[in-house]
C-alpha cells in the first residue's frame, strides 16, 4: 500500500482532533463555537481525505455512522458486576441510610456524599483500552450484558478516544443512555405518521434504539449519555467519586446535569429537593436522585449486600398519579400458578403513558384498600414505570350492587382447585397441566437469560403448544424440522434456524439452567449463588434447606423452596430426562477456593517506592492472596510495602504506626499464611 504523505497524515490527525472537539462543544457542553455549515465542511473534507488515502483513525467522527446489520448481539461478561441500587421513598429512609453507613463505619462524624439525578434510561458500560473505546455493553443481569459497541459509537457525546497523554491501561466507564423528552415526542409523531407503533416512554425508546441489530437505525435516533460510575480500572486510580467525575469532565465525557458534593445527610436532602424542583425543567426523564458515599476506600469497606452496594441508595420521587375507574377485576395466572387479581381500568394517561390495567397484587391488598368493581381510584406509576392502585375515592357514591370481589375457587385457566399456603398471601393453581403455567414455564425456559433459545419467543411457544408439539419444556428437544416447516410463520430457513438454536442450547451453564427451571424465589442472582457453591446439578438432588442457608445471602424461604424442588422425584426425573436428551451443563461459576481462607484475607496494603516487580504485578499478587491495595495511608492500613525511594507515604505510615515491610517480607507473609 502506498505510504500516505506526511503532510496529509498531519492534516487528517488535526481534522479528527478539531471535529471531535467541536462534537464535545455541541453535544456535551451545548455551546458550539462554529456553525453547522462550518462543521459539515470540515467533516466532508476529512471524509474525502480518508477515502482518497485509505487512512482512518479509530476515533474519526466518520466512524460513528451505522455499520452493516448484525445477526444477533454477543454476550459480554462484566469484569466487575454492575449492581442495582436500593431505594429510599422518604427523607426518613434517606436518614436511615446515613445511619446504617455510619454504624457500619463505626463513626459519629458526618459522611461526605455526592448527589446527582437518577436518569431513567439504559445502564451502559464503556471499556477503553489504551485510551481507545473498544467495547460497550448493556447491564444485562449485572454480570453479563450484550455487546452494543457499534450502536454506542453512533452517539455523538461518547468519546471514541481519551485524549489525555497519560491514559489508563484499561477502564470501564459506566453511565446511562437516554433520550430527551422532546426528541422522544418528535420521534413518536414521526412513527405514528409512518404507521409504526409509538414507544411507551423515553426509556423504552432509548433501550429499543440501543438494541437495534442495524446500527444505522440507531445512528438516526438522538441518544445521549450521562457518565457517573467506574468499574474495573488499571493504570490510574481515583480516591473518590468527586475526583472521578472531575476526571470525566477533563476527558470530555458527559456527566450528570447536576452533581454536588456535600457533608452530612442534611446537605444531601437539600440537593434532593433542588433536583426535584428542577425535575419538570430537565429535558430528560428523572425519577429520583442517587446518593453515594464519596470516598472510594469507604465504599470498599462498606461493600455490598446481595446485589446492592451499602454505600449508595436511590431516593425515588413521588410517582405521577391520575384518577380513573375500575371497569372489572380479572385474574391472571403466572408460570408458578400464582393467581393475581388485575384491575381493568378506563384508560388514563399518567406521566406520558396510557395506562389501562394495574396489578392489585393479592386479595389481602384488595381487602385492605377495600377495592371493588366500579370504584373511582387513584392510580400511580411506581418509579414512573409500574402502575398500581393507591386508594379508592368517593366510596359513599358506590351503587347498591357493589360487593367486595371474592378470591377464585377454581383456576380461571384450567378449572383446577386453588390453594393458599399458610402464611402466604397468594392463591395458587395446583393443576400440574394448567395451560397458563405450562406455556409460561416453556417461555421462561427458552428466554434469553435462561436457555436462550432464539426463535422460541412468546408467539412461537403458543403456536407449538396449541399444535400439541410442545406440552412441556422437555418436548423442545424432541422437535424435528419436519414438524415445523408447514406451520404458520415457519418456512425452510426459519425451521432450520430454530432446530439449530435448540441444539445450541443443549450446551449451557449451571447458572442459566437453574434459572430456566422456574424454581419459586430463584432469580438469576440466586441461581448464580447456587452455581458458585454446587459444582454439578446432581449435587443439589435431595439437598436439605439447612445446607442452602449456609450460603451467604440465602434466606430460609428461598432455601425451603430450593430444597422442596430438589426433593421432588418428578422434578429429578425431569432433570434426568433433559440430560438424556443431550443437555450438557458446564459450571464456570463454581468457586473451588470458597472454603479456603487466603493468607492475606482482610488485610489492607499500600505500595510505595520502586520494587523488584512492577506495581501491577505486586497488586495482583496481593489480590490473589486475598489482600486489598489502597492508594493512600490511613489508620486502617495494615502494611506499607516499601521499595527504594519510598517518598512521603513512609513518613505518614510511621506517624500512624503502620508497619513497613519489604517486597521479600510480603512474599514471606504469603508463604507463611498459606
pLDDT at 619: 76
What pTM was computed for the model? 0.53
Pairing of strands 639-642, 659-661: parallel
At 143, is the secondary structure helix, strand, or coil? Answer: coil
Confidence of residue 526 (pLDDT cuts 50, 70, 90): confident
pLDDT at 162: 92
Question: Exposure pattern of 178-211 as b/e (b: 16+ CB <10 Å)?
Answer: bbbbebbeebbeeeeeeeeebbebbbbbbbbbbe
Per-residue pLDDT, averaged over 476-495, amounts to 91
Other beta carbons within 10 angstroms of residue 239's beta carbon come to: 14
pLDDT at 595: 47
Distance CA 269, CA 115 (A): 9
> Looking at the predicted structure, is the pLDDT value of residue 1 above 50?
no
**Residue 17 host element (H or E):** helix 6-23
DSSP 334: -
In the residue annotation, 118 being an active-site residue is answered as yes
Cβ(456)–Cβ(477) below 8 Å: no
Cβ(133)–Cβ(124) below 8 Å: no
Mean pLDDT, the chain, whole residue set: 86
Confidence of residue 300 (pLDDT cuts 50, 70, 90): very high
Per-residue pLDDT, averaged over 443-471, amounts to 90
Specify which residues 204 forms β-bridges with: none
pLDDT at 651: 82
Tens digit of each residue's pLDDT (9 = 90 or more) over 121-176? 899 999 999 999 999 999 887 888 889 999 999 998 999 999 877 789 999 999 99
pLDDT at 84: 85
| Angle subtended at Cα 617 by Cα 616 and Cα 622, rounded to the nearest 5 degrees | 100
Cβ(629)–Cβ(672) below 8 Å: no
Question: Exposure pattern of 556-580 as b/e (b: 16+ CB <10 Å)?
Answer: eebbebbbebbeeeeebeebeebee
Q: Which domains, ranges and CATH numbers included, belong to the chain?
A: 6-64 (1.10.287.610), 86-316 (3.30.470.30), 321-396+406-419 (2.40.50.140), 435-505 (1.10.150.20), 509-586 (1.10.150.20), 604-673 (3.40.50.10190)
Return the percentage of the chain with pLDDT > 70, whole number: 92
Report residue 162 CA to chain centroid gap: 25
Q: Is 314 left (phi over 0), alpha (psi -120 to 50) or beta?
A: beta
Other beta carbons within 10 angstroms of residue 423's beta carbon come to: 6
Per-residue pLDDT, averaged over 563-576, amounts to 87
Q: What are phi and psi of 509, to 5 degrees?
A: -105, 160
> How is residue 120 written as a grid cell?
431513567
Per-residue pLDDT, averaged over 172-184, amounts to 92
Closest C-alpha to 443, from 472, 483, 481, 484 = 472
Distance CA 391, CA 380 (A): 10
Q: Is 452 left (phi over 0), alpha (psi -120 to 50) or beta?
A: left
Other beta carbons within 10 angstroms of residue 661's beta carbon come to: 17
Angle between helices 435-446 and 458-466 (to 10 degrees): 130
pLDDT at 66: 52
Closest C-alpha to 329, from 407, 391, 398, 401 = 407
Most confident region among 245-249, 352-356, 439-443 by mean pLDDT: 245-249
Tens digit of each residue's pLDDT (9 = 90 or more) over 322-365? 899 999 999 988 767 888 899 999 998 876 678 888 888 888 88
Of residues 492 and 423, the one with the higher pLDDT is: 492
Distance CA 460, CA 450 (A): 17
Cβ(131)–Cβ(167) below 8 Å: yes
pLDDT at 195: 57
Tens digit of each residue's pLDDT (9 = 90 or more) over 269-295? 999 999 998 987 899 988 899 999 999
Tens digit of each residue's pLDDT (9 = 90 or more) over 226-244? 999 999 999 999 999 999 9
Can you tell me which residue has the cell 481507545? 132
Per-residue pLDDT, averaged over 247-272, amounts to 96
Is the torsion defined by CA of 348, 351, 355, 357 positive or negative? negative
pLDDT at 142: 82
Cβ(271)–Cβ(143) below 8 Å: no
Per-residue pLDDT, averaged over 11-35, amounts to 79
Distance CA 388, CA 276 (A): 22
Tens digit of each residue's pLDDT (9 = 90 or more) over 85-128? 888 989 999 999 999 999 999 999 999 999 999 998 899 999 99
Length of the chain: 674
Point out the catalytic residue in the list 118, 161, 316, 528.
118
Distance CA 93, CA 95 (A): 5
| Angle subtended at Cα 283 by Cα 279 and Cα 288, rounded to the nearest 5 degrees | 35
Pairing of strands 628-630, 604-608: parallel
Of residues 185 and 269, the one with the higher pLDDT is: 269
Question: Which residues, in sequence order, are CB contacts of 521 under 8 Å at separation 6+?
Answer: 557, 558, 561, 562
Of residues 616 and 669, the one with the higher pLDDT is: 669
First-to-final CA distance of the chain: 57
Return the percentage of the chain with pLDDT > 90, whole number: 39
Pairing of strands 260-263, 112-119: antiparallel
> How is residue 158 written as a grid cell?
461518547
Q: Which residue pairs from 483-489 have beta carbons closer than 8 angstroms and sit at least 24 positions apart in sequence?
A: 487/463, 488/463, 489/459, 489/460, 489/463
Of residues 479 and 401, the one with the higher pLDDT is: 479
Amino acid at each position: 500500500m502506498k505510504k500516505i504523505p506526511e503532510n496529509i497524515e498531519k492534516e487528517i490527525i488535526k481534522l479528527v482532533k478539531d471535529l471531535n472537539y467541536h462534537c464535545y462543544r455541541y453535544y456535551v457542553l451545548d455551546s458550539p463555537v462554529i456553525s453547522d455549515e462550518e462543521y459539515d465542511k470540515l467533516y466532508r473534507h476529512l471524509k474525502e481525505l480518508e477515502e482518497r488515502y485509505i487512512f482512518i483513525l479509530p476515533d474519526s467522527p466518520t466512524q460513528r455512522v451505522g455499520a452493516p446489520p448484525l445477526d444477533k448481539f454477543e454476550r459480554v461478561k462484566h469484569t466487575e458486576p454492575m449492581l442495582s441500587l436500593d431505594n429510599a421513598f422518604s427523607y426518613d429512609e434517606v436518614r436511615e441510610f446515613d445511619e446504617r453507613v455510619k454504624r457500619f463505619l463505626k463513626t459519629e462524624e458526618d459522611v461526605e456524599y455526592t448527589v446527582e439525578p437518577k436518569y431513567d434510561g439504559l445502564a451502559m458500560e464503556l471499556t477503553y483500552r489504551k485510551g481507545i473505546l473498544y467495547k460497550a455493553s448493556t447491564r444485562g443481569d449485572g454480570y453479563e450484558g450484550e455487546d452494543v459497541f457499534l450502536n454506542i459509537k453512533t452517539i455523538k457525546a461518547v468519546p471514541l478516544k481519551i485524549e489525555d497523554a497519560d491514559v489508563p491501561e484499561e477502564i470501564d466507564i459506566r453511565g446511562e443512555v437516554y433520550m430527551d423528552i422532546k426528541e422522544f415526542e418528535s420521534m413518536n409523531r414521526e412513527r405514528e405518521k409512518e404507521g409504526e407503533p409509538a414507544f411507551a416512554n423515553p426509556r423504552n425508546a432509548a433501550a429499543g434504539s440501543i438494541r437495534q441489530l442495524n446500527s444505522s437505525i440507531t445512528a438516526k435516533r438522538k441518544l445521549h449519555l450521562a457518565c457517573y460510575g467506574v468499574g474495573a480500572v488499571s493504570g490510574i486510580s481515583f480516591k473518590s467519586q468527586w475526583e472521578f467525575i472531575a476526571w470525566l469532565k477533563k476527558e470530555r465525557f458527559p456527566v450528570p446535569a447536576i452533581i454536588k458534593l456535600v457533608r452530612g445527610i442534611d446537605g444531601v436532602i437539600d440537593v434532593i429537593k433542588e433536583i426535584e424542583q428542577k425535575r419538570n425543567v430537565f429535558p430528560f426523564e428523572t425519577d429520583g436522585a442517587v446518593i453515594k458515599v464519596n470516598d472510594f476506600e469507604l465504599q470498599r469497606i462498606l461493600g455490598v449486600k446481595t446485589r446492592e452496594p451499602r454505600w449508595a441508595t436511590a431516593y425515588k420521587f413521588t410517582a405521577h398519579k391520575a384518577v380513573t375507574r375500575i371497569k372489572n377485576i380479572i385474574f391472571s395466572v403466572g408460570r408458578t400458578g400464582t393467581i393475581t387479581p388485575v384491575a381493568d381500568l378506563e384508560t388514563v394517561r399518567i406521566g406520558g403513558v396510557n395506562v389501562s390495567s394495574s396489578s392489585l397484587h393479592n386479595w389481602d391488598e384488595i381487602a385492605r384498600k377495600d377495592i371493588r368493581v366500579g370504584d373511582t381510584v387513584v392510580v400511580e406509576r411506581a418509579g414512573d414505570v409500574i402502575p398500581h392502585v393507591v386508594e379508592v375515592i368517593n366510596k359513599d357514591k358506590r351503587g347498591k350492587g357493589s360487593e367486595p370481589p371474592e378470591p377464585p375457587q377454581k383456576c380461571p385457566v384450567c378449572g383446577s382447585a386453588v390453594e393458599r399456603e399458610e402464611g402466604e398471601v397468594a392463591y395458587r393453581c395446583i393443576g400440574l397441566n394448567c395451560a397458563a403455567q405450562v406455556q409460561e414455564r416453556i417461555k421462561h425456559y427458552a428466554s434469553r437469560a435462561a436457555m436462550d433459545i432464539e426463535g422460541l419467543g412468546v408467539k412461537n411457544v403458543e403456536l407449538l403448544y396449541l399444535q400439541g408439539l410442545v406440552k412441556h419444556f422437555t418436548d423442545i428437544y424432541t422437535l424435528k424440522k419436519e414438524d415445523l416447516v408447514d406451520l404458520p410463520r415457519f418456512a425452510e430457513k426459519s425451521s432450520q434456524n430454530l432446530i439449530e438454536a435448540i441444539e445450541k442450547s443443549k450446551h449451557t451453564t449451571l447458572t442459566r439452567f437453574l434459572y430456566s427451571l422456574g424454581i419459586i424465589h430463584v432469580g438469576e442472582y440466586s441461581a448464580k449463588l447456587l452455581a458458585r457453591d454446587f459444582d454439578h446439578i446432581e449435587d443439589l438432588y435431595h439437598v436439605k434447606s439447612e445446607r442452602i442457608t449456609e450460603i451467604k445471602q440465602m434466606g430460609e424461604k428461598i432455601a425451603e423452596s430450593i430444597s422442596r424442588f430438589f426433593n421432588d422425584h418428578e422434578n429429578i426425573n425431569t432433570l434426568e430426562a433433559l440430560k438424556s436428551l443431550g443437555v450438557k451443563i458446564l459450571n464456570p461459576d463454581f468457586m473451588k477456593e470458597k472454603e479456603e481462607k487466603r493468607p492475606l484475607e482482610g488485610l489492607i496494603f499500600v505500595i510505595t517506592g520502586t520494587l523488584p516487580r512492577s506495581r501491577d504485578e505486586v497488586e495482583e499478587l496481593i489480590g490473589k492472596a486475598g489482600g486489598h491495595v489502597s492508594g493512600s495511608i490511613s489508620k486502617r492500613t495494615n502494611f506499607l510495602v516499601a521499595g527504594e525511594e519510598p517518598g512521603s507515604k513512609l513518613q505518614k505510615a510511621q506517624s500512624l504506626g503502620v508497619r513497613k515491610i519489604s517486597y521479600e517480607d510480603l512474599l514471606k507473609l504469603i508463604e507463611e499464611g498459606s
